[in-house]
Amino acid sequence: MPRPDNVGVGVAILIYDRKRKKVILLQRLGAHAEGTWACPGGWIDFEDADPVATCLRELQEEVNLTIDRKFLRLYTVVSENHEDAGFKSVTLYYRVNWEDISMNVAPNFPQVVEPDKSSAVQWHSLNELPSPLFPQLEGVLKTLS
């Protein structure tokens, strides 16, 4: 059977501050689910060595964050049907604990790096999440502890 061209595999990165119970979210522009709030992330490119390399690339591209790969941990996997856009996806959610990386982060973090792809990036409390959220993200965020 040929490989389907309407199924993609991507990554999303939960940058989570356990102490404050907050997570970094971006408001999406110019792509499916425009206007929703989502974690940094994106599609796994053919050139990426592995999904962790995709995470590192996306963190740099979207929020100007450079971290060591040792801080990324696979958290969960979510399958999504994006009927409005006509495709399905599998998203590998990775988690980064803010306490592990905060001492090496630029003082102006977070900031919008790709204004054509996101209109805002900021910390959000798990008790006061913005709306609307990217499909299935609310369920993922409810499992954070």
Domains of the chain by range and CATH? 7-141 (3.90.79.10)
* Residue 62, pLDDT above cutoff 80: yes
pLDDT-above-70 percentage for the chain: 99
Cα-Cα-Cα-Cα dihedral of 25, 29, 31, 36, to 10°? 40
pTM of this structure: 0.92
Q: What is the DSSP letter of 30?
A: S
* Residue 37, pLDDT above cutoff 90: yes
How does residue 57 score in pLDDT terms, banded at 50, 70 and 90? very high
How does residue 11 score in pLDDT terms, banded at 50, 70 and 90? very high
How does residue 109 score in pLDDT terms, banded at 50, 70 and 90? confident
